[in-house]
Structure 1
């Protein structure tokens, strides 16, 4: 786009102002909707556009003056048309590509002493200024990326994540600065994280709650408090985005942190945690057909959203603990997703084909080897998976899977709130060998659920409710309860599962977020007895006799349910062009209940205090 020639006469200035007003005029009609937050955004956009126009005018005047002086020094004329057009490349905003201003004809303006010469604004909400014959679009004026634009067009009084909030950070929020490599826009995100916790039990998982490992009274860890702090959840993300045509956009997104451990990782000297892949996917969005495609590793489509079915708008608790919350539905995995929206982005329908996995509980079954084989009661064995080879972890058993998980979701964004219904089908698969005869087994696991966000006070106080229930889907909850155990013939025996969360989140002002949540996940049981031996999950004949005696190993303690209560707050005490610095604290109490066996039904608990500091340079 060419920068217009700014005339120094009165008629030229009047035409320029008229052009700018005509470009900005339609914005209140599209965005107002009696929404104070939208009005604030418009005012900031108008102010920034005015500042940018003045900065560019000053810059062009200064460059013309320099050219005139240079030509005068060489013996040329200062007012000639010139045969060498000046070209300057700068940021082109969020929606359109870069622009190239070209020196126009006419006398060079003179910048006499006065204000310092401005510089083109790189990044942020920098948009090209339209010429008189341009037809500015809503996107080019407002300068919002597609996910934000959709959210505002279908305003449900919940709104998209504010980029500085922890919920947005968990979902993969991007910053407001935009850089350009030719026609490709580069947007960065992430933060530097320094978190710590104090807990009344020794659980060696850091700020990631692994509820399955909370010790019972028979473990010395039950009687030991623990402090742990690290920076391993510092995060970096990048999105590359290109506009193929006015209606078609392609983007790639990658997000990493240092949450993984290597064989040499230790807490004694270097604390050298290693990078891991959180998300990596590409998207294709067609605004004319209202179709949205995603392929790669991302949050499962079962994860609740805030608006529509839009990547990086997942509705996740603001907790410090990296395991999020007991009962939260989530997973990050490979998928192929197709979504269509209707009724001006208010009704959404999506289907996703996602990478499968099955968590088996093998209580009572002895391992035939260390490669996913378990001895059956009749002397045969069941093969439920294989240890990783090649570039996969040799200590991780990868379950046998015959087909991907299939997930469907409907989302509705009326004027008030966000509502979802969803379902999933999963196909656990294994093989058994009895008396030299092998047989494959496939079960059909399923689940159904939904979520809602109720903006009690729009953009200030909201209530979030989520739930998912079914059979064989325990791994979609934060607690990672088992999906299945084994039948006498080695076939998968699906376990019923249910999980739910409820939360209240307050944003009293732009600096503070306060939250409180309850989460719960529970599992059913499936078992049988053979030859006086108890097999399966939750078997009442399993022994819990030693669960109350320190040092005893006679404690089966199959988990029946896990509950968590938590409250916390975040305070953004520094915010500016250099980013955001925030501090947070969280109190959490978790309780683990077990299925009764011989000796009773033991229970345990965990109390934690989290502290965290984050610097977000791009938000």
Structure 2
């Protein structure tokens, strides 16, 4: 302001001088201004411009001061908000328990695992997931049966001399290797391939004398195509997999088959299953809750009773098979249809399914053509979360004619009458069990199962299964006669799995299983004998993937 006043005063003084000089020279002509007056006017104009520039600069300074003040106020507000946030964090930290050294190490290990470990492999756009485990199992049986990790439920009676001694062995043959390969053709189409292998194959050269040279075998090996269309989809499977009638935990999805969790590789009597080649088409609807599937699967037939001399029902295995085995005569695959539904009841997940089975049995009447019979089965299962994350339960049942080979106990499918006609056997299977997830590291389970066939007496009591004339009088006498057919197999089993380690380097666990099994014969001469078997299993497993 002082500078502006001084400039204005100087300008006024210059104007005054200019006016005086003009009066003194008034006698001169007005058409030509003196040079000094022109110079004075130029100076005044320059001073006026300078004054205006100073006014503009002062206005800009005021505007800058206002903006700076607003910025200061904004910074103060942000600072106050930060102080409030810091106080809230300090309050939260004060209320949070101190982090232990073990927790810090766990977090560090998890970060390292994410950074340096990857459970999948990638090749030309295909994602490959390895799997499997190594197992050392210990097996104990009260009565010697000569079985490895897969039990035979045809328990020997005391007439069998070997049954008077117990059985104990180690086995690593249930160790398993698997892989899953997946590739997305586009957002709606995905291709997949899955293979799973163990070492329970037993060629004629395999033995337990020295090298224990047991060979690998296929458990499952199949390919899939999935077409997903939002709330529904279609799924094609071709290859060797669990039979469609095997209980699923969810939908009708490969690798979601729900097997009892015990160590014994033959599972529990009453559990219906098979692993065999076939082709399957499934569709899911209602936002993937309703599933419908049909399948054609490889046929085989098991026989019981006397086979008439004019009947050919088996053929010695040919190319690609072990010549010591035989194959049943079959020309049509087993047909299976299944419906499954997933829902929630009171917040608990529930899976329900039902299925139907149609089978064809064949034989040749020597010189008189072929003989064919039809078998069928029907059943279902329910899987439910009794307490989510804590207790799961399952129940399944199947009934029908000619369904024996789909049961764990392996009861026969059919028998013959004297004229060579095939007669499927009536049978039912039941299984129930529960698994308690006691802790994150401990699972405890218990199951009960049963398989039972009906008597079939044919041709005046000379053919069939469960003949009343069968001699059971020596079943409990060493070396005695015990000719009856098996009527029923029952089992109670329980056990647990304890995880010893689970983290960046896989999972290690130990399991113990105990089972009590009963075998009952059809009533014959000498009564309806029954024998039992106590078995125990111990398993150490390491899952590296």
- The TM-score, its normalising length taken from structure 2, stands at 0.77
2:429/2:450 contact within 8 Å kept: yes
- Selected match of 1:426 from 339, 351, 359: 359
Distance 2:437 2:114 in 1: 35
Shift of 1:536: 1.8
Map of 1:309 onto structure 2: 252
Shift of 1:338: 0.6
Deviation sequence 1:187-235 (CA, Å, 0-9, x none):
11100010011111001112211112x1111111221111111101100
1:36-185 counterparts in 2 under 5 A?
121=115, 124=118, 177-185=119-127
- Selected match of 1:347 from 287, 290, 302: 290
2:224/2:235 contact within 8 Å kept: yes
Distance 1:420 1:458 in 2: 20
Question: Between Structure 1 and Structure 2, how many residues are aligned?
Answer: 432
Distance 1:439 1:527 in 2: 25
Say if 1:204 and 1:119 are closer, same or farther in 2 by CA, change over 3 A.
closer
- Selected match of 1:483 from 390, 394, 413: 413
Shift of 1:119: 11
Map of 2:317 onto structure 1: 388
Distance 1:405 1:559 in 2: 25
Shift of 1:610: 0.6
Shift of 1:585: 0.1
1:431/1:491 contact within 8 Å kept: no
1:545 is aligned to 2:466: no
Distance 2:502 2:131 in 1: 15
Say if 1:580 and 1:358 are closer, same or farther in 2 by CA, change over 3 A.
same
1:518 is aligned to 2:448: yes
Map of 2:209 onto structure 1: 268
Quick check: which one's strand share is greater?
2
Shift of 1:504: 1.2
Aligned to 2:145, what secondary structure does the other structure show? coil
Deviation sequence 1:156-195 (CA, Å, 0-9, x none):
xxxxxxxxxxxxxxxxxxxxx1100120111111000100
Map of 1:572 onto structure 2: 499
Distance 2:306 2:352 in 1: 43
1:612 is aligned to 2:539: yes
Moved over 6 A (4+): none
Map of 2:427 onto structure 1: 497
Distance 1:307 1:402 in 2: 33
Map of 2:5 onto structure 1: none
Distance 1:221 1:452 in 2: 41
1:122/1:178 contact within 8 Å kept: no
- The TM-score, its normalising length taken from structure 1, stands at 0.68
Distance 2:222 2:113 in 1: 35
- Selected match of 2:404 from 462, 474, 477: 474
Aligned to 2:162, what secondary structure does the other structure show? helix
Shift of 1:578: 1.0
Shift of 1:507: 0.7
Map of 2:518 onto structure 1: 591
1:287 is aligned to 2:228: yes
1:461 is aligned to 2:402: no
Q: Which has the larger radius of gyration?
A: 2
1:182-197 counterparts in 2 under 5 A?
182-197=124-139
1:192-271 counterparts in 2 under 5 A?
192-212=134-154, 214-271=155-212
Shift of 1:555: 1.6
Map of 2:488 onto structure 1: 561
Distance 2:324 2:463 in 1: 25
Aligned to 1:221, what secondary structure does the other structure show? helix
Map of 1:138 onto structure 2: none
2:383/2:395 contact within 8 Å kept: yes
Say if 1:119 and 1:458 are closer, same or farther in 2 by CA, change over 3 A.
closer
Gaps of 5+ in 1: 1-46, 52-117, 125-176, 366-373, 376-380
Aligned to 1:341, what secondary structure does the other structure show? strand
1:335 is aligned to 2:262: no
Deviation sequence 1:458-509 (CA, Å, 0-9, x none):
1210111011100001100001100001122112111001101000111122
Shift of 1:549: 1.5
Distance 1:182 1:119 in 2: 24
Distance 2:459 2:472 in 1: 16
Aligned to 1:509, what secondary structure does the other structure show? coil
Aligned to 2:245, what secondary structure does the other structure show? coil
Shift of 1:239: 1.3
Shift of 1:392: 0.6
- Give the root-mean-square deviation of aligned CA atoms: 1.8
Distance 2:188 2:243 in 1: 26
1:534/1:542 contact within 8 Å kept: no
Map of 1:534 onto structure 2: 462
Deviation sequence 1:431-471 (CA, Å, 0-9, x none):
112xxx32211111000000001211012101110111000
Deviation sequence 1:342-394 (CA, Å, 0-9, x none):
11111111111111111011x344xxxxxxxx51xxxxx11112111111121
1:350/1:409 contact within 8 Å kept: yes
Deviation sequence 1:59-104 (CA, Å, 0-9, x none):
xxxxxxxxxxxxxxxxxxxxxxxxxxxxxxxxxxxxxxxxxxxxxx
